[in-house]
Structure 1
Amino acid sequence: MSRNVLLILADAAEAKTVRRSLVDSRDGPFRVECVNRCGDAIKRLGSQGGEEIAAVVVDLSLPDSQGIETLEQLQHASPHVPILVLSHLRDEDVARLAVQRGAQDYLLQERLDGHSLARALSSMLERSAYAEALFLESQRAQVTLNSIGDAVISTDVAGNVTYLNAVAESMTGWSRLEASGRPLQEVLHIIDGESRELALNPLAMAMLHNKSVSLSANCVLIRRDGYESGIEDTAAPMHDARGQVTGAVIVFHDVSVARAMSLRMSYLAQHDFLTELPNRLLLNDRLTQAIASAQRHRTLAAVLFLDVDHFKHINDSLGHAIGDQVLQSIAQRLVACVRRSDTVSRQGGDEFVILLSEVARAEHAAFTADKILAAVSRPHRIGHQDLQVTVSVGIGVYPDDGADAEALLRNADIALFQAKAHGRSNHQFFEREMDARATAGAVARAMAR
């Protein structure tokens, strides 16, 4: 990356001092070319000879400067070269205006020291290089997109179809011969995927506003035979030699697979792969919402923290494949024990958490826990064998057992620890006077997970 700086200062002594600070800077080193007139700088930027200029430092109060107009001339001479304005306090308003008009930054000469300019230049060049890299990447992506097999349809200024390529024929179900001369809406039937309302005609919008336009998100193309596919598109006006709009062209492609994949990835990010139950992330979100709702409506919310008793023995003796099937069977029974408005989630391993979003009394949580204990304890048919499994349950109730999601889960986990200490296959409510050692052990175990 070039670090050649064009310095435009009238005062030779000041220019010498600034040049020395830049050449010797730890943020450099910079190569510095000095001129004392804006006109000379514009000529240098417009010339092909010499090393490429990477940045310009200019005092817009030079004798031959015309302020903002000079800035615009510098930008015109070399549009991609970043400009840093040096200004006196009395001219700070002009410097600020220069930044609004495209200068990268400004520094006040009264506050200038040996390092501030070098640091500002280095930062400016890094931003410029980053912006250039983003631009090149964008261009590369654009070329790639333009090279794939997109559908193309063009119309005349009246909105009648004049051309379809082969991909467009396949996606719309219309041949070029059949579609030619027909209104675009008849050939390109696009609706909003959510409202099912007819979408705005993108070509008409492009011609009306004389600029490129895109379809809104979630648009769906209905093919001639009724088949639906999600699409993304860009429409742009076409012009004759005099600049008059003569029609428009639309380029679009099928994004049905990408949209389905995006929805699937979003689902997987919030659900457990083995059981397809909500995972810890989704549970925390729903628990936070449930607490907010309970606070607004002055109701209760409960969390049931479950752990499969002696699950390690199942994995060790029967194998992880059998253990996974046991977890899937337990998950199905848990879902059957609660309301549709409740949430059953798997936290990982053999731990499950159930959110009862609205309960009138704490006893309702106990009733659900008893229902779960009975349901899970029934034999699980795995392959050709029946397996007996039990769970232990810890219960935390908002607001008494925790004012937020983290506290409520932590205290339900402590109650679970007590349920195991009481012989397993039972439920326990969280109580503040629980044995300190059991509480400390549960917290340590929770932190270890």
Structure 2
Amino acid sequence: MKQNQTILIVDDDPVVRLMLRRTVEHAGFRVIEAENGKEALQTAQEQMPDLILLDVMMPILDGFETLEQLRKLPGGDRVPILMVTALDDKNSVQRAFSAGADDYLKKPIHLEVLRHKVQRLFHARAVEESLIASEIQMRGITSALGAGVYVVDQEGILVFMNPEAERLLGWREGELLGKPVNDLFRVPAEAEQKEEKKHLYADEAMPVPHVEETNFRHRDGTVFPVALVSSPYYTAGVISGTVAIFHDISLRKQAEHRLRMIAKVFEHTAEGIMVTDSKGRIQSVNRGFCNTTGYTEDEVVGQTPRILQSGRYDREFYREFWDTLINSGYWEGEIWNRRKDGAAYAVWLTISAIKDDYDRTIQYAAVFHDITEQKQAHERIQYQAYHDALTDLPNRSLFLDRLHQAVALALRNKRKLAVFFLDLDRFKQINDIYGHMIGDELLQGVARRLRSCLRESDTVARLGGDEFTVILPDISESDDAAVVAKKVLEALCVPWQLSGHIIQTTASIGIAMYPQDGKTVAELINHADTAMYRAKQSGRNKYQFFAEKMADGIDEKSAILRTGAMDFVMEYAPIIALASGKLLAFEGQALYPQSEGGWSLTADLLTHYYTEEWLTQEAGRIVAKVSEQIKQWSSDGPVPLRGLVELAPAQFLNLRLPEQFRRIVWESGLDPAQIEIAVPSTVVDHKEAALCAVEQYRKAGFTTCLTRVAGQHSLASLFQQRFDAIRLDENLIQTCLHSPEKGHLLVTLIYGMQRLGRRVIAAGVLDQATAQWLIQENCQEAQGAYFGSSASSQIITTMWEKQLWTR
């Protein structure tokens, strides 16, 4: 080891240098020499020796000056330097040590003392280097821990802090070394304050590590939770202080809070929830599951969901079910199960795969709600919605739907079809003479006779009053329609015996043929209606095919239906960001005026004679108006505004509209993202169709909003929808405002929507108290009289100029 250590001898006396050289070389050290301070500095710059023997009294630079400059060289602050001089006065000794000498040797030199001092200095340097290496190693280890580490002595004085502790606490080690820090870092709970010193100072009363969760304070005053391990450290068998190792557990605490909330929702939600392992064995269920199925948790845990199977599905269904779930990690749909008592029931079921950090499925979570009564009610409502209550025939809506299908099928198969408009002759006189009860019996009898004249594939419908329609699909020639028309007229001419009265009646029939009389539903309806009126004008009890020359005689009603022209005016209602009070959007509302005479579109024609083409046209006109106005208002301010247009469910579900709206909005110079398409929440009843429509609007660049949400649907059904926003009905808001129980449901709804990344808009906000309550419940947007009622664009602009709103 000594052969690698070099000693620089600096002395202007060659005899002294020789004596010193022989002594240290005899001890096994390598020697280099310098005869003055300047030469010594040059030699040290080229190669810093391991030790320097430095004379004081030298020309050019004396030993003191040389010593000061040596200490400034790279590595010079650590090399041991032994001053060798004849000076032994107190001032010289003090000056030597002040300049940085490690030791002092007086001339004449005692060689044995020299050897001992050299060895002691080398030993001291080795110890120092070992300590430095140990400290570097300790700092490396504590840095690699990934945890904050600091060390205090028995008095709480900081002696060490690693980089992670510096980062977590905001202090640098150099700022706090030698200072008490326990009160600076820790924020103990009141019950802990008496034990704080014991935990952190690790005195004799606590000889083992102490593990706890507590709070620490950052330099900026922020308090954060930590997991703390306090361990005593020993010197010569005696406790010298405490090593504190801590982790920031803020994220864990947040996760625990979320888990507690999830647990509450899991247990208290009305929807059934079931969690299985990756093999499908049930691990846990909630109260809603037990209430729906009739099983207790103990009865199903460890079982598979097969105990719920209704027996209605074959192997192929379950094979597709599992293929979808395994490949996509998600399955959603309606399924029939069986309760513990054997009763079958329908549920809407959503299953999601839960994966670990390696994307491996470890569990499945299933959420369902019982829709049996809803399905039964829905079926009744659906039937009632599409059938006439008096005659049990299809009504106008079902007639239009079937006519659309028939036209599409005829186009595909290149076949013909016929549309009849049938009106009873002088039915009003029968009502006036015999009364409405007899009139109703007559209409029911007409329905039965019409059914008897038609094929199973044909459709007969009642539009209202004494007006009936017939669809004859898949016919070869108009003669086929004429045969059926004659049969109908003959059947209806047979006298009726109704409540003791013999009644004679006839009918007039108008016929339109596809494709020669019209290629669209609207054209066929209009032309069949026109032909029917011509049959009445020709003496009644007749059928009449449509002819082009009849077009000149179409009355006002048919003309309006054909053109679909109707003026409307627009009003706009502001939508405000609750937190900032800034203006976000305007809802555009179209108002149709009532006609003073003739047909009123809103009161009569729109209600009873609207067509899909008319609805499509009107929706496009409204979107165009709103787009143009939003474009103008957006250009007047720093932030683009959003426009909201609410459609009827029938319009929203028309999948031709998203692309049509996109073209309209682009032509106005507006981005489709600035237009939000809204629809009442009744569209949720058409679940699959609604999901499809939302996706089409999203592809076209629009956002969507579910409006009039008033608590009539379950939370699960609302969460399953993929609308970008929901608008809460004002009645729901007022109910929740005054009912803590209902308020809890609203909070859950708002929280769930925000977790799904969806906005929540409150409608009908009338006062500041309601607005403040909504802000507290984290509702994002609102509209209503408190922020400004709907008004024309001119009035809105004037109110804006008066700075009623800000952007």
What interval of TM-score do these two structures reach, taking the shorter chain for normalisation? 0.5 to 0.7
Q: Which structure has the larger Rg?
A: 2
C-alpha distance in 1 between matches for 2:420 and 2:471: 7
Counterparts in 2 of 1:251 and 1:298: CA distance versus 1, 3 Å: closer
- Does residue 398 (structure 1) correspond to residue 489 (structure 2)? The answer is no
Q: Under a length normalisation based on structure 1, what TM-score does the superposition of the two structures give?
A: 0.55
- Mark the CA change 1:346 to 1:177 in structure 2 (over 3 Å): closer, same or farther: same
Cα offset for 1:371?
A: 0.8
Matched residues in 1 for 2:560 and 2:488: separation? Answer: 24
Structure 2 residue 289 is the aligned partner of structure 1 residue 168: yes
> After the TM superposition, which residues 84-95 of structure 1 pair with which residues of structure 2 at under 5 Å, given as runs?
none
Aligned twin of 1:423: 539
Which residue number corresponds to residue 300 of structure 1?
A: 416
Kindly report which structure 2 residues correspond to 1:195-344, keeping only aligned pairs within 5 A, or say none.
197-198=317-318, 215-234=331-350, 250-344=366-460
Aligned to 2:484: 368
Question: Quick one: structure 1 residues 198 and 238, their matched pair in 2 at CA, closer, same or farther if it must change by over 3 Å?
Answer: closer
**How far apart are 1:412 and its partner, in Å?**
1.9
Q: Secondary structure at the match of 1:198?
A: helix
Bigger shift: residues 335-344 or 382-391: 382-391
Distance apart, 1:367 and its partner CA: 1.0
Partner Cα distance (1:252, 1:282) in 2: 31
Counterpart amino acid of 1:406? A
**Distance across 2 between alignment mates of 1:446 and 1:194:** 50
Q: TM-score, normalised by structure 2?
A: 0.32
Change (3 A) 1:313 1:228: same
What is the rounded CA distance, in whole Å, between the counterparts of 1:388 and 1:145 in structure 2?
68
Distance 1:145 1:275 in 2: 48
Show the counterpart of 2:302.
181
Can you list the C-alpha shifts for 1:332-361, whole angstroms capped at 9, x where unaligned? 221221112111122222111111112222
Q: Within 1, Cα distance between the matches of 2:352 and 2:414?
A: 56
The answer to whether the 8 A contact 2:333-2:350 is kept is: no
8 Å contact 1:194–1:218 — kept in the other structure? no
Percentage of matched positions with identical amino acids: 34
Q: Which runs of 5+ in 1 are unaligned?
A: 1-142
1:331 Cα shift? 1.6
2:393 counterpart SS class: coil
Q: CA RMSD in A?
A: 4.0
- The letter of the residue matching 1:220 is W
Deviation at 1:225, TM superposition (A): 4.9
Matched, 1:151 2:272: yes
Name 1:25's counterpart in structure 2: none
Pair 1:351–1:194, CA change in 2 (3 A): farther
User: 1: CA distance between counterparts of 2:297 and 2:364?
Assistant: 16
- How far apart are residue 322 of structure 1 and its match? 3.2
Could you say which residue in structure 2 is the equivalent of 1:356?
472
* Residue aligned with 1:415, SS: helix
Q: Would the aligned equivalents of 1:274 and 1:328 in 2 still touch at CA under 8 Å?
A: yes
Unaligned ranges ≥5, structure 2: 1-263, 563-598, 600-604, 606-807
**Inter-CA distance 353–196: structure 2 relative to 1 (3 Å threshold):** farther
CA deviation string 1:64-100 (max 9, x = no partner): xxxxxxxxxxxxxxxxxxxxxxxxxxxxxxxxxxxxx
Query: Which letter does structure 2 place at the counterpart of 1:160?
Result: R
Return the letter of the residue paired with 2:420: L
| Matched positions, count | 298
1:162-206 Cα offsets, whole Å, 9 max, x none, are 555565345435444443433x1333327787998337889x96x
1:413 to 512, 515, 529: 529
Instruction: List aligned pairs for 1:31-70, cutoff 5 A.
Output: none
Contact 2:267 2:286 in 1 (8 A): no
Residue type at the aligned position of 1:188: L
Give the distance between the partners of 1:428 and 1:295, measured in 2 at CA.
24
Alignment of structure 1 residues 5-154 onto 2, 5 Å: 147-154=268-275
Greater mean alpha carbon deviation, residues 360-369 or residues 255-264: 255-264
Helix, strand or coil: the match of 1:258? helix
Conservation of the 8 A alpha-carbon contact between 1:192 and 1:198: no
Which one-letter code corresponds to 2:548 in the other structure?
Answer: R
Distance of 2:464 and 2:457 partners within structure 1: 22
Residues 410, 148 of structure 1: alpha-carbon distance in 2 compared, 3 angstrom cutoff: same
Counterpart in 2 of 1:345?
Answer: 461
Q: Secondary structure at the match of 2:332?
A: coil
Does the 8 Å contact 1:327/1:350 carry over to 2?
Answer: yes
Match of residue 33 from structure 1 = none
How far residue 389 of structure 1 moved from its aligned partner, in angstroms, is 2.5
Tell me, in whole angstroms, the C-alpha distance in 2 between the residues paired with 1:363 and 1:257. 48
- Distance apart, 1:373 and its partner CA: 1.0
Q: Shift of residue 296 of structure 1? A: 4.1
SS at structure 2 position matched to 1:340: coil
CA distance in 2, matches of 1:172, 1:324: 46
Q: Deviations over 1:206-236 (max 9, x none)?
A: xx89x9x764212221234543211134556
SS in structure 2 at match of 1:218: strand
Following the alignment from structure 1 to structure 2, what is the Cα–Cα distance between the partners of residues 323 and 265?
26
Query: Measured at CA, do residues 368 and 223 of structure 1 come closer, stay the same or move farther in structure 2, by a change above 3 Å?
Result: same
Does 1:387 pair with 2:508? Answer: no
Deviates more, 1:358-367 or 1:228-237: 228-237
| Distance in 1 separating the partners of 2:508 and 2:284 | 69
Check whether the contact 1:156–1:162 (CA below 8 A) recurs between aligned residues.
yes
Q: Which letter does structure 1 place at the counterpart of 2:530?
A: I
> Which position in structure 2 is the counterpart of 1:73?
none
Deviation of the 1:307 alpha carbon: 0.3
**What amino acid maps onto 2:477 in structure 1?**
R
Query: Judging changes above 3 Å, is the alpha-carbon distance between structure 1 residues 224 and 356 closer, same or farther for their aligned structure 2 residues?
Result: same
Give distance in 2, aligned partners of 1:439 and 1:234: 54
Partner-residue secondary structure (3-state), 2:318: coil
Structure 2 SS opposite 1:403: coil
Distance 2:551 2:292 in 1: 69
SS at the partner of 1:181? coil
Query: Shift of the alpha carbon at 1:369?
Result: 0.8
Change (3 A) 1:193 1:257: farther
| Alignment-derived partner of residue 11 in structure 2 | none
1:348-401: CA deviation from partner (whole Å, max 9, x where unpaired): 221111111122221111110111112222234444444332211112222332
Instruction: Classify 1:228/1:435 alpha carbon distance in 2 versus 1 (closer, same or farther; 3 Å).
Output: closer
Which amino acid in 2 is paired with 1:300?
K
CA shift digits 1:245-271 (9 cap, x unpaired): 986654432111223333444444433
CA change 1:338–1:200 in 2 (3 A) is closer
